């Protein structure tokens, strides 16, 4: 009898925990949905470029909604400005990455850990052990490249870069290149195909961006090995 009561009690506790978890997930989803819709609305604002710069900046350090959400409708509305729009997103995203780097250097314990926990990452000790050593530099560059070009949370890598004292010059170059490549590609495709590219990016953008990033990384690695061994 006591065993039956214990099992029933444990089941009840598990159900309560599950219900709380589902409520939290639903709450986070609703917040993300509202932030997403708000960013789309800002893309139609007369000062949309200013808002794009702001969103691009904070997205590189803590904000969950990527600038692509604004780039697509902005380019659709003003196709001739697609280069300017992509440039704004790239420049301010790189500046935001530097801000994220600063968080990692100066405020990791106070702020950085909270941002990681917000995105579901709690055990952070492995990061420093994995990438702070010399042999971890190239893998980290690859990881930073993937995060900058694909939907992988870029902000987590910018903060980590500061936390492990990653080479600042290499960090800036990688951020500008990867974010520029991503935003200019999105702006160009939108200019070329119009609003239809938006749903495509939402459905399959992650898949194809990862494939393209892998191809570029392999190509860069081949060039690096050739220069290292034969030049």
Chain segment 176-228, per-residue pLDDT in tens: 988 898 899 889 888 888 777 666 555 655 555 556 656 666 655 665 566 56
pLDDT of residue 57: 95
If one compares 3 and 172, the residue with the highest pLDDT of the two is 172
If one compares 217 and 100, the residue with the highest pLDDT of the two is 100
111-165: pLDDT as tens digits: 888 888 887 776 666 555 555 554 555 666 666 666 665 556 788 889 988 888 8
Q: Which residue has the tokens 């974010």?
A: 179
pTM of the predicted model as reported, rounded to 2 decimal places: 0.72
Tell me the percentage of the chain whose pLDDT exceeds 70: 58
């Amino acid at each position: 009898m006591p065993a039956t009561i214990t099992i029933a009690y444990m089941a009840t506790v598990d159900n309560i925990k599950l219900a709380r978890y589902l409520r939290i997930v639903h709450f986070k989803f609703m917040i993300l949905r509202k932030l997403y819709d708000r960013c789309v609305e800002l893309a139609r604002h007369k000062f949309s470029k200013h808002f794009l710069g702001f969103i691009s900046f904070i997205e590189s350090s803590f904000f969950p909604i990527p600038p692509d959400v604004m780039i697509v409708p902005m380019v659709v509305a003003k196709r001739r400005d697609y280069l300017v729009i992509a440039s704004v997103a790239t420049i301010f995203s790189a500046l935001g990455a530097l801000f994220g780097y600063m968080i990692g250097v100066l405020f990791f314990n106070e702020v950085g850990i909270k941002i990681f926990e917000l995105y579901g990452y709690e055990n952070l000790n492995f990061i420093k052990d994995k990438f702070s050593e010399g042999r971890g530099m190239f893998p980290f560059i690859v990881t930073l490249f993937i995060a900058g070009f694909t939907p992988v949370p870029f902000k987590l890598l910018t903060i980590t870069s500061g936390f492990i004292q990653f080479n600042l010059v290499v960090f800036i170059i990688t951020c500008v290149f990867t974010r520029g490549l991503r935003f200019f590609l999105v702006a160009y495709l939108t200019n070329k195909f119009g609003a239809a590219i938006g749903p495509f990016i939402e459905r399959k953008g992650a898949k194809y961006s990862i494939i393209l990033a892998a191809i570029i990384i392999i190509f860069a690695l081949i060039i690096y090995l050739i220069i290292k061994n034969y030049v």
